[in-house]
Amino acid sequence: MDFKNLANKAKDLAQQHADKVDTAIDKAGDLVDQKTESKYADKVDSAQDAAKKAIRQQD
């Protein structure tokens, strides 16, 4: 299996389990906020939103 096929499979799985991926994204963002004392909370929130949007808009 080449890299492109592997990437496509990962995208398909992420889209099929978007609710679980969203939860993981939220937990990761919360951890970053905790470790940085929310110094970058606005940037973390933007990154979380972008990641969730990307999962939902895959072809």
Helix or strand or coil: residue 38?
A: coil
- The parent domain of residue 12 ranges over 3-56
Q: State residue 16's pLDDT score.
A: 92
pTM comes to 0.81
Mean pLDDT of 18-22: 95
34-57 residue pLDDT tens: 999 999 999 999 999 999 999 888
How many folded domains does the chain comprise? 1
Mean pLDDT of 15-43: 97
Q: State residue 59's pLDDT score.
A: 53
Q: What is the sign of the dihedral through the CA atoms of 42, 47, 48 and 50? A: positive
Q: State residue 57's pLDDT score.
A: 83
